[in-house]
Amino acid sequence: MDWYEHFFFGGWFKVAEQAKEHTESEVSFLVEVLGLKQGDRVLDVACGIGRHSLELARRGMKVTGVDLNEPSLDSARRVAADEELDIRFVHMDMRAIDYEGAFDAAINMWTSFGFFESEEEDQVVLDRVARALRAGGSFFVDLVNPLWLARYWDPADVQELEDGTLLLQRRSYDVFTGRVEAEWDFVDPDGAREKKSFSHRAYTLPELTRMAELAGFEIAGAWGDFEGAAVGFDARRLMVVARKR
């Protein structure tokens, strides 16, 4: 079983819930750089628990979220139903996105690109997203910045979550594949433990640009955080807007 088929359960939900406090400001940035307006059709690729999908829908966009993890989708559907939001949440592998010219914009948030074993599979994702967009549509991709990783690399740390759970993180980097490998140990206040691991390809801006161009995109902008900072060694994020030619 590939890591992404079993990672997004259990303790991961605690991390995802804690990230909700940043959602409004992140979506405000998305609306600005993508030029979104009410009624625009947006595809959320690897939408998870739907925190960005839901906020976009609250602002009047017509949103479709796709994800491989059913528990995350169920969580998103419950919130959408409670708030009477018109959103479609679809169980779908991002490599199998089958829409054509159906969306004005697409988003991929929180380092949800680079999961797969080969660059060819990641290229398929870009190709599929490009096909799903109308001509001139834009794709926003939010990744960890490899330049920042190189400068501030920390092989291990401990974080206390809001409910008192300790998250112990250990990381390694494969210089031959460009992949970040990580192990997460969750230790609940009652002593219960849960172990998870993940692996993702940390793409540089030139690499991402090349792949986007192969898919029929051109890079329209790049930023290092949701305040609009430039990409550089001190910017934790690598965020780009790729526009379909």
Q: Domain with 157 in it: what CATH number?
A: 2.20.25
pLDDT at 20 over 80: yes
Residues 180 and 215 reside in one and the same domain:
no
Residues 134, 230, single domain; the answer is yes
**Do 110 and 160 fall within a single domain?**
no
Strand partners, 66: 45, 90
Task: Mark whether 39 and 104 lie in a shared domain.
Answer: yes
pLDDT in tens, 39-71: 999 999 999 999 999 999 999 999 999 999 999
Please tell me whether residues 45 and 16 are part of one structural domain. yes
152 to 147, 198, 203, 215: CA distances (angstroms): 9, 20, 17, 32
Tens of pLDDT, residues 165-218: 999 999 999 999 999 999 999 999 999 999 999 999 999 999 999 999 999 999
Average pLDDT of the residues of the chain = 97
Same domain, 170 and 238: no
Given this model, what pLDDT does residue 200 score? 97
Total tally of structural domains belonging to the chain: 2
The average pLDDT across 30-45 equals 98
Q: For position 178, what pLDDT does the model report? A: 97
Host domain of residue 8: 3-144+203-244
Indicate if 181 and 89 belong to the same structural domain. Answer: no
Measured CA to CA in angstroms, residue 226 lies from 5, 45, 141, 142, 170 at distances of 29, 19, 12, 10, 26
Kindly state whether residues 80 and 184 are assigned to the same domain: no
Question: For the domain that residue 127 is a member of, what is the CATH number?
Answer: 3.40.50.150
- pTM: predicted TM-score of the whole model, two decimal places: 0.98
CB atoms within 10 A of CB 123: 17
Q: In degrees rounded to 5, what are phi and psi of residue 81? A: -65, -45
Q: Does residue 22 share a domain with residue 79?
A: yes
pLDDT-derived band at 2, boundaries 50, 70, 90: very high
Buried b (16+ CB within 10 A) or exposed e, 74-98: ebbbebbeeeebebebeebbbeebe
Residue 74 and residue 52 in one domain: yes
Residue that finishes a domain, picked among 199, 217, 233: 199
Query: 13: pLDDT confidence band, cut at 50, 70 and 90?
Result: very high
- Reply yes or no on whether the pLDDT at 1 is more than 80: no
Q: Verify that 170 and 212 share a domain, yes or no.
A: no
Q: How many CB atoms lie within 10 A of CB 10?
A: 13
Check residue 197 and give its pLDDT.
Answer: 97
What one-letter code names the amino acid at 125? V
For residues 23-29, give the mean pLDDT: 98
> CA 240 to CA 221: how far, in whole Å?
6
Which are the contacts of 215, defined by CB distance < 8 A and separation ≥ 6?
A: 123, 126, 127, 129, 130, 242
φ, ψ of residue 95 to 5 degrees: the values are -75, -10
pLDDT of residue 158: 98
pLDDT band at 125, cuts 50/70/90?
very high
Is pLDDT at 111 greater than 80 in this prediction? yes
Same domain, 92 and 24: yes
Mean pLDDT of 204-233: 98
Q: Compute the average pLDDT of residues 77-90.
A: 98
- Structure-token pair, residue 3: 């890591």
Q: What is the pLDDT of residues 127-137, one digit of tens each?
A: 999 999 999 99
